[in-house]
């Protein structure tokens, strides 16, 4: 996998505003609208997202693998797999290797633009 740490996202997406997220090493490109947000995540290997909850979320793995625990059930998601997280449902994530995902949030203000 010679491209394992390269973003699969088009250059115009990489030029979108970055999201202000609390996770070290993550890159997140933000697309916001009045009805929700889409965030294009580039996640370093060895990352852990601690348990948390917020409004409803849908996601798709673009590259790599993501181990998600949703509502107490842990499952590994790979390229092309989708997941849905219900409103207020606790979830967490782990990556072993570099991964890219697109998450769509029902909350239009889930993330703010990075200053």
List of domains in the chain: 41-109 (2.60.120.10)
Residues 64, 43: Cα–Cα separation, whole Å: 9
Residues 69, 33: Cα–Cα separation, whole Å: 28
* 90-111: pLDDT as tens digits: 999 999 999 999 999 999 999 9
Q: What pLDDT sits at residue 6?
A: 86
Contact 30, 37 (CB under 8 A): yes
Say if pTM beats, i.e. exceeds, 0.75: yes
Q: What pLDDT sits at residue 115?
A: 83
Q: What is the DSSP letter of 13?
A: H
Token reading at 71: 């509502």
Q: What pLDDT sits at residue 96?
A: 92
């Amino acid at each position: 996998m010679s491209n394992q740490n390269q973003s699969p996202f088009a250059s115009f997406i990489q030029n979108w505003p970055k999201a202000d997220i609390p996770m070290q090493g993550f890159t997140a490109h933000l697309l916001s609208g009045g009805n929700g947000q889409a965030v294009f995540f580039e996640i370093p290997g060895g990352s852990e997202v601690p348990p948390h909850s917020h409004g409803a979320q849908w996601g798709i793995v673009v590259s790599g693998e993501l181990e998600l625990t949703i509502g107490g059930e842990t499952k590994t998601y790979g390229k092309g797999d989708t997941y849905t997280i219900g409103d207020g449902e606790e979830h967490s994530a782990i990556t072993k290797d570099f991964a890219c995902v697109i998450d769509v949030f029902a909350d239009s203000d889930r993330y703010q633009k990075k200053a």
